[in-house]
């Protein structure tokens, strides 16, 4: 008899607990599934945001690597024609010092794409006798060619004074009337370009 009472007690007491436990297990399983779904949605959202940011960074890098005209240009450069130049009127340096100053600004001593560009720049130079500006054009002794030191390419765009080049030096100067070659150690003003295309 005692066994029967104990069995009934156990059945009545633990029976409802098993049902509650079953319900808790089911709810726990539902919560886990819901949590997994939410985590997947957050991961998809974050991946979409990361992909968009990576694409924006990639575009910016492509623009920066696209070359001279898309580069970030020092605000001291001004647009003359279709390119950017800086004309230093007040400080005089030898050719090497002038080239270094242009590099510090993110540019190079200037060479020219065409006659129109030279003419436009000459209009901006001081109109004083013996006021010269270094360019990025140098004479190569070994083959007699003139090169742009920015691009390393041979250049054929000049506006020489009569009787020039006169083999007075390897570096080329420009003033408001034309070009001449001269000793690179001379102190002179200078012209920088922002790109290395010519």
What are the tens digits of pLDDT across the range 67-78? 544 568 899 999
Distance CA 102, CA 165 (A): 24
Residue 198 covered by a domain:
no
Residue that finishes a domain, picked among 66, 98, 117: 66
Residue 185 corresponds to which tokens in the numbers above? 């150690």
In a domain, 119, yes or no: yes
Same domain, 181 and 87: yes
pLDDT tens-digit series, residues 147-185: 999 999 999 999 999 999 988 899 999 999 999 999 999
Question: Could you tell me if 77 and 157 lie in one domain?
Answer: yes
Q: What secondary structure does DSSP assign to 134-165, as a single string? A: EEEEEE-TTT--EEETTT--B-----BPTT--
Q: Specify the pTM.
A: 0.64
Q: What is the C-alpha separation between 30 and 131, in angstroms, rounded?
A: 86
Whether residue 142 is contained in a domain is answered as: yes
Can you give the residue range of the structural domain that contains 141?
A: 71-193
């Amino acid at each position: 008899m005692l066994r029967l009472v104990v069995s009934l007690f156990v059945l009545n007491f633990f029976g409802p607990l098993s049902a509650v436990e079953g319900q808790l297990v089911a709810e726990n399983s539902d919560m886990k599934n819901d949590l997994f779904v939410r985590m997947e949605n957050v991961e998809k959202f974050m991946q979409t945001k990361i992909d968009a940011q990576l694409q924006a960074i990639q575009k910016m890098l492509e623009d920066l690597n696209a070359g001279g005209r898309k580069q970030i240009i020092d605000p001291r450069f001004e647009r003359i024609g279709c390119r950017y130049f800086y004309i230093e009127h007040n400080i005089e340096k030898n050719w090497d010092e002038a080239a270094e100053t242009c590099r510090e600004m993110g540019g190079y001593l200037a060479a020219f794409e065409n006659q129109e560009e030279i003419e436009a720049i000459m209009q901006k130079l001081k109109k004083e006798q013996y006021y010269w500006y270094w360019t990025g054009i140098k004479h190569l002794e070994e083959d007699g060619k003139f090169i742009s030191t920015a691009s390393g390419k041979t250049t054929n765009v000049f506006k020489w004074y009569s009787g020039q080049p006169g083999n007075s030096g390897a570096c080329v100067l420009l003033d408001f009337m034309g070009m001449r070659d001269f000793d690179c150690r001379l102190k002179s003003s200078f012209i920088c370009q922002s790109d290395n295309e010519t």
